[in-house]
Structure 1
């Protein structure tokens, strides 16, 4: 049924107001938030010694969003699926940066015993701790090498080595670095036996690493059970739908089915959280 002239005028005016809102209010606000997120990701990566300017991060996110949205639109012919796929890179960029930072942190902590072993050997040979650190940095693997180079740079710029190590401990924020830095900060001004301290700290860290690996091997079965219990209900629902094609319509189209799905989802989340809490035991 066609529109009358007044109705068409109202429709055009409403469309113009909506377009004006998106162009003047919604889009600039979204653009500002997008650029702010790109700057934040760039700053977080700079702390990990990965130099990516915000403009490059924004360009990568835009290209990824365009490619995914186009692929989803071509595959599903659905605007909603295309919009969701296009928003995915922007929404999950922060999770990807956090995953990279946690992965790099675990790598650095696993390299601490090697650092202490090298430092102990140089100090035992008669060098000072600062000289030993300068000679050790080129021998370290990537990860801990950049961190110790940062500490050494702070020391060369005038910061005492004990304070530079304290700043590094605050930057990493882990029990392993505290085990290394805090006794060393007390031993440097007091003239303690640094070689013995480094050796003891190295042995403690290696014991902690072996204990952590043992815990992971002992909890591997529980992690597998958590994965199986999480995937079992969707797989069971898909299998039943193959046998009974009316299963999903009845499940999603009735109040009782929706209630069952909500309760099942809540129980799944509670079970997953409980298993994660049980498996989060640290040595």
Structure 2
């Protein structure tokens, strides 16, 4: 006698959960061994101060030698996504989470088919759950970048005032890291620490522009590097850049206010079919049952859901502008 479905599902869930926990523990242990070994190799024959600097620099800029998961070309978009979102996830943890959720979605979609064929339902649900960790990180990155953009003008004014007061650029970065709030604090603290440990300023600033992919940050990096090459009044350049960032942010606010009606219309048009479907399911379940039991009903239901997503995407593109 074949075991019931729930027993197979629970068994698979336990196996996948154990694999996920073991994979996470293995990834942390491998990263720890790699870091310790790299510190030992870099500090052989060095003075105590150089050993401490080697350890700190390894922690701040982890080694990505060939053969590690972080060095794989296919993992680079995820690595940049994790860095820009400010998350403490590891690429291995993100990969394992994606695989686990994808397998769970495949199993649930095949057991409880919603669309025309069980395989199609399994594929769609598996793809949706597999994309969930990446979707969460993208939302965290968008929120972090929005907060960073809001704080950037004040940070630029702070650096400009510190330079006019006679402080060096590195000292201005240290003062900003102490006085500012997240996420400005962590990014500029990392820039100061990496520079303080001997890393070239251009490489450090370009690394920050990769972790924070904002056009205003690229302007800041270009202004600093250009001033180091050609000279000039950096404090005046940063003050003008802060004014430009504020003006762009004000323009974004005006566009957001002008498109508020369109966003509300998109939300209403997206939720209205779901509300009607839920109401019909309660008031006329025989009518809605055809969308599950009848072949043509499942076909119409799948087409309606696909067109709903297409309409939401079109409305999203219509009300979102890049400034």
**TM-score normalised by structure 2 residue count:** 0.62
Q: Which region of structure 1 is more displaced relative to structure 2, 196-205 or 240-249?
A: 240-249
Residues paired across the two proteins, number: 240
2:18, 2:282 → 1: CA distance?
45
Q: Who is 1:196 aligned against?
A: 236
1:175, 1:43 → 2: CA distance?
16
Q: For 1:122, which of 145, 162, 165 is the aligned residue?
A: 162
For each residue in 1:101-146, what CA deviation from the matched residue of structure 2 results, as whole angstroms up to 9, or x when unmatched?
3322221222110110101111112222122222222111121011
Quick one: structure 1 residues 229 and 138, their matched pair in 2 at CA, closer, same or farther if it must change by over 3 Å? same
Q: Which region of structure 1 is more displaced relative to structure 2, 197-206 or 245-254?
A: 245-254
Quick one: structure 1 residues 94 and 32, their matched pair in 2 at CA, closer, same or farther if it must change by over 3 Å? farther
2:137, 2:185 → 1: CA distance?
21
8 Å contact kept, 1:113–1:206: yes
Q: Which region of structure 1 is more displaced relative to structure 2, 170-179 or 33-42?
A: 33-42
**TM-score normalised by structure 1 residue count:** 0.70
Q: CA deviation at 1:223?
A: 1.5
Q: Which region of structure 1 is more displaced relative to structure 2, 244-253 or 129-138?
A: 244-253
CA-atom RMSD, angstroms? 4.0
Q: Which has the larger radius of gyration?
A: 1
Q: CA deviation at 1:147?
A: 0.6
8 Å contact kept, 1:42–1:52: no
**Greater relative CO (CA pairs within 8 A, separation 6+):** 2
Q: CA deviation at 1:214?
A: 1.5
Q: CA deviation at 1:180?
A: 1.2
Quick one: structure 1 residues 44 and 183, their matched pair in 2 at CA, closer, same or farther if it must change by over 3 Å? closer
8 Å contact kept, 1:130–1:161: no
2:281, 2:169 → 1: CA distance?
68
Q: Who is 1:3 aligned against?
A: none
Q: Which region of structure 1 is more displaced relative to structure 2, 33-42 or 157-166?
A: 33-42
For structure 1, the residue ranges without an aligned partner over 5 or more in a row are 1-10, 66-78, 81-87
Q: CA deviation at 1:37?
A: 6.6
1:46, 1:169 → 2: CA distance?
11
Q: For 2:251, which of 211, 214, 217 is the aligned residue?
A: 211
The answer to whether structure 1 residue 109 and structure 2 residue 176 are counterparts is no
Q: CA deviation at 1:189?
A: 2.7
Which SS does the other structure have where 1:111 is aligned?
Answer: helix
Q: CA deviation at 1:154?
A: 1.0
2:24, 2:262 → 1: CA distance?
37
Q: Who is 2:262 aligned against?
A: 222
2:279, 2:305 → 1: CA distance?
18
Q: Who is 1:164 aligned against?
A: 204
Q: Who is 1:99 aligned against?
A: 139
The answer to whether structure 1 residue 237 and structure 2 residue 277 are counterparts is yes
For each residue in 1:180-235, what CA deviation from the matched residue of structure 2 results, as whole angstroms up to 9, or x when unmatched?
11122111232111011101110111111111111112222211111111111121
1:137, 1:214 → 2: CA distance?
31
